[in-house]
Amino acid sequence: MPITNLYNNESPLFHSSSAEHLNTRLFLDFNKQDVLQGLYYTIPKGSKWGLQLSELAKECEKKSFFELQRGVETSNTNCDSFFDLPSFLLKEALEIYRGKVPALNELKKCVDDELICRCFGIYKNELLDVLDSNPEFKEKDLTNATRAGAGCSTCLGDFQELFSEARVRQAKKLLDS
Protein backbone atom coordinates (compact mmCIF):
# COMPACT_ATOMS: atom_id res chain seq x y z
CA MET A 1 0.00 0.00 0.00
CA PRO A 2 1.52 3.38 -0.98
CA ILE A 3 2.11 5.98 1.71
CA THR A 4 -0.23 8.95 1.35
CA ASN A 5 0.66 12.37 2.68
CA LEU A 6 -2.36 13.60 4.59
CA TYR A 7 -3.13 17.27 5.02
CA ASN A 8 -3.09 17.79 8.78
CA ASN A 9 -1.47 20.85 10.34
CA GLU A 10 0.19 20.55 13.70
CA SER A 11 -2.30 20.60 16.55
CA PRO A 12 -2.71 24.11 17.95
CA LEU A 13 -1.89 25.07 21.54
CA PHE A 14 -5.43 26.40 21.92
CA HIS A 15 -8.54 25.46 20.02
CA SER A 16 -12.03 26.81 19.92
CA SER A 17 -13.93 23.57 19.72
CA SER A 18 -13.53 19.84 19.36
CA ALA A 19 -15.57 16.69 18.93
CA GLU A 20 -14.62 13.06 19.41
CA HIS A 21 -15.92 9.63 18.42
CA LEU A 22 -14.14 6.31 18.93
CA ASN A 23 -10.62 7.75 19.39
CA THR A 24 -10.98 10.04 16.38
CA ARG A 25 -10.90 13.68 17.41
CA LEU A 26 -11.51 16.83 15.37
CA PHE A 27 -10.37 20.30 16.49
CA LEU A 28 -11.55 23.64 15.09
CA ASP A 29 -9.48 26.79 15.61
CA PHE A 30 -11.38 30.00 14.80
CA ASN A 31 -10.04 33.55 14.77
CA LYS A 32 -11.87 36.56 16.24
CA GLN A 33 -13.82 37.05 13.01
CA ASP A 34 -15.23 33.48 13.24
CA VAL A 35 -13.10 32.33 10.30
CA LEU A 36 -11.66 28.83 10.59
CA GLN A 37 -7.89 29.09 10.83
CA GLY A 38 -7.34 25.38 11.22
CA LEU A 39 -9.10 22.05 11.24
CA TYR A 40 -6.92 19.50 12.99
CA TYR A 41 -7.54 15.87 13.80
CA THR A 42 -6.12 12.88 15.54
CA ILE A 43 -6.92 9.38 14.37
CA PRO A 44 -5.93 5.92 15.49
CA LYS A 45 -3.15 4.33 13.46
CA GLY A 46 -4.57 2.63 10.39
CA SER A 47 -7.90 4.49 10.55
CA LYS A 48 -9.93 4.50 7.36
CA TRP A 49 -10.98 8.11 8.01
CA GLY A 50 -7.62 9.75 7.32
CA LEU A 51 -8.22 10.61 3.67
CA GLN A 52 -11.71 12.00 4.30
CA LEU A 53 -10.51 14.10 7.25
CA SER A 54 -7.60 15.36 5.17
CA GLU A 55 -9.97 16.44 2.38
CA LEU A 56 -12.31 18.03 4.91
CA ALA A 57 -9.40 20.02 6.40
CA LYS A 58 -8.43 21.36 2.97
CA GLU A 59 -12.03 22.17 2.08
CA CYS A 60 -12.92 23.97 5.32
CA GLU A 61 -9.96 26.20 6.14
CA LYS A 62 -10.47 29.95 5.78
CA LYS A 63 -14.27 29.57 5.68
CA SER A 64 -16.48 31.43 8.10
CA PHE A 65 -18.47 29.66 10.78
CA PHE A 66 -21.69 30.39 8.88
CA GLU A 67 -20.30 29.00 5.60
CA LEU A 68 -19.27 25.84 7.42
CA GLN A 69 -22.61 25.52 9.16
CA ARG A 70 -24.48 25.96 5.87
CA GLY A 71 -22.19 23.43 4.23
CA VAL A 72 -22.84 20.82 6.92
CA GLU A 73 -26.60 21.31 6.67
CA THR A 74 -26.65 20.91 2.88
CA SER A 75 -23.82 18.41 2.40
CA ASN A 76 -24.24 15.19 0.50
CA THR A 77 -21.95 12.53 1.82
CA ASN A 78 -19.20 11.37 -0.52
CA CYS A 79 -18.08 8.64 1.85
CA ASP A 80 -18.05 5.04 0.84
CA SER A 81 -19.59 3.93 4.13
CA PHE A 82 -22.93 4.25 5.84
CA PHE A 83 -21.60 6.56 8.59
CA ASP A 84 -19.78 9.76 7.58
CA LEU A 85 -17.56 10.33 10.63
CA PRO A 86 -15.81 13.49 9.35
CA SER A 87 -19.12 15.29 8.70
CA PHE A 88 -20.53 14.07 12.01
CA LEU A 89 -17.50 15.40 13.93
CA LEU A 90 -17.56 18.71 12.06
CA LYS A 91 -21.25 19.20 12.84
CA GLU A 92 -20.71 18.35 16.53
CA ALA A 93 -17.68 20.65 16.83
CA LEU A 94 -19.59 23.53 15.21
CA GLU A 95 -22.51 23.03 17.61
CA ILE A 96 -20.16 22.97 20.58
CA TYR A 97 -18.38 26.10 19.31
CA ARG A 98 -21.68 27.97 19.36
CA GLY A 99 -22.49 26.77 22.88
CA LYS A 100 -24.80 23.86 22.18
CA VAL A 101 -23.07 21.41 24.48
CA PRO A 102 -24.55 17.96 23.83
CA ALA A 103 -26.51 16.56 26.73
CA LEU A 104 -25.44 19.38 29.06
CA ASN A 105 -28.90 19.53 30.63
CA GLU A 106 -28.75 15.81 31.33
CA LEU A 107 -25.29 16.19 32.81
CA LYS A 108 -26.48 19.00 35.11
CA LYS A 109 -29.06 16.62 36.58
CA CYS A 110 -26.29 14.21 37.62
CA VAL A 111 -23.67 16.65 38.93
CA ASP A 112 -24.27 19.07 41.77
CA ASP A 113 -21.44 21.45 40.88
CA GLU A 114 -20.90 24.42 38.58
CA LEU A 115 -19.31 23.60 35.23
CA ILE A 116 -16.52 26.13 34.71
CA CYS A 117 -14.62 24.83 31.65
CA ARG A 118 -16.96 23.43 29.01
CA CYS A 119 -14.12 22.50 26.67
CA PHE A 120 -12.60 20.01 29.10
CA GLY A 121 -15.53 19.35 31.46
CA ILE A 122 -13.90 20.79 34.58
CA TYR A 123 -16.03 21.76 37.55
CA LYS A 124 -15.64 24.48 40.16
CA ASN A 125 -14.88 22.15 43.09
CA GLU A 126 -12.16 20.37 41.07
CA LEU A 127 -10.43 23.69 40.48
CA LEU A 128 -10.86 24.78 44.11
CA ASP A 129 -9.31 21.51 45.29
CA VAL A 130 -6.28 22.12 43.06
CA LEU A 131 -5.98 25.69 44.37
CA ASP A 132 -6.33 24.47 47.98
CA SER A 133 -3.40 22.10 47.41
CA ASN A 134 -1.36 24.74 45.58
CA PRO A 135 -1.98 28.19 47.12
CA GLU A 136 0.93 29.70 45.16
CA PHE A 137 -0.70 28.93 41.78
CA LYS A 138 -1.31 31.69 39.26
CA GLU A 139 -3.80 31.49 36.36
CA LYS A 140 -1.34 29.81 33.98
CA ASP A 141 -0.38 27.26 36.66
CA LEU A 142 -4.04 26.34 37.16
CA THR A 143 -4.46 25.95 33.38
CA ASN A 144 -1.32 23.81 33.11
CA ALA A 145 -2.48 21.58 35.97
CA THR A 146 -6.11 21.15 34.88
CA ARG A 147 -6.40 22.32 31.22
CA ALA A 148 -9.18 24.72 32.31
CA GLY A 149 -8.89 27.81 30.15
CA ALA A 150 -6.81 26.10 27.46
CA GLY A 151 -9.71 25.66 25.04
CA CYS A 152 -11.96 28.51 24.00
CA SER A 153 -10.76 30.52 27.06
CA THR A 154 -14.21 31.86 27.99
CA CYS A 155 -13.82 30.41 31.50
CA LEU A 156 -10.76 32.57 32.22
CA GLY A 157 -13.15 35.27 33.43
CA ASP A 158 -14.26 32.91 36.22
CA PHE A 159 -10.71 32.41 37.44
CA GLN A 160 -10.63 35.61 39.57
CA GLU A 161 -13.70 34.43 41.46
CA LEU A 162 -12.13 30.99 41.91
CA PHE A 163 -8.90 32.45 43.26
CA SER A 164 -10.86 34.67 45.68
CA GLU A 165 -12.94 31.73 46.88
CA ALA A 166 -9.81 29.59 47.29
CA ARG A 167 -8.19 32.32 49.44
CA VAL A 168 -11.31 32.44 51.63
CA ARG A 169 -11.24 28.65 52.02
CA GLN A 170 -7.53 28.76 52.92
CA ALA A 171 -8.14 31.50 55.50
CA LYS A 172 -10.95 29.45 57.08
CA LYS A 173 -8.64 26.43 57.32
CA LEU A 174 -6.02 28.55 59.12
CA LEU A 175 -8.64 29.90 61.55
CA ASP A 176 -10.03 26.41 62.24
CA SER A 177 -6.64 24.90 62.98
CATH, residue 23: 3.90.1010
Domain that holds residue 62: 17-97
Task: Clarify whether residues 92 and 108 are in a common domain.
Answer: no
Q: What is the torsional sign of CA 141, 143, 144, 145?
A: positive
Q: Please, are residues 170 and 177 in contact by the beta-carbon 8 Å criterion?
A: no
Residue finishing a domain among 67, 97, 127: 97
**For residue 71, what pLDDT is reported?**
84
Cα–Cα distance measured from residue 40 to residue 86, given in angstroms and rounded to the nearest whole number: 11
**For residue 5, what pLDDT is reported?**
54
Q: Please, are residues 98 and 105 in contact by the beta-carbon 8 Å criterion?
A: no
Task: Clarify whether residues 66 and 93 are in a common domain.
Answer: yes
**5 lies in a domain?**
no
Residue finishing a domain among 40, 64, 97: 97
Residue finishing a domain among 97, 127, 156: 97
Task: Clarify whether residues 118 and 86 are in a common domain.
Answer: no
Residue 158 burial class via C-beta count within 10 angstroms: exposed 0-12, middle 13-18, buried 19 and up: middle
* Whole-structure pTM value: 0.48
CATH, residue 160: 1.10.10.1100
pLDDT in tens, 59-87: 998 999 889 988 887 765 555 545 678 88
pLDDT in tens, 107-149: 555 566 788 887 777 889 899 999 999 988 888 888 888 888 8
Cα–Cα distance measured from residue 62 to residue 38, given in angstroms and rounded to the nearest whole number: 8
* Closest C-alpha among 33, 81, 28, 82 to residue 56: 28
* Closest C-alpha among 121, 119, 117, 145 to residue 131: 145
CB atoms within 10 A of CB 5: 6
Task: Clarify whether residues 113 and 84 are in a common domain.
Answer: no
Task: Clarify whether residues 79 and 124 are in a common domain.
Answer: no
Overall average pLDDT of the 30-53 stretch: 87
Task: Clarify whether residues 62 and 115 are in a common domain.
Answer: no
Dihedral Cα 38, 39, 45, 48, nearest 10 deg? -140
∠ at Cα 86 (83, 90), nearest 5°? 120
Q: How many structural domains compose the chain?
A: 2
Cα–Cα distance measured from residue 132 to residue 112, given in angstroms and rounded to the nearest whole number: 20
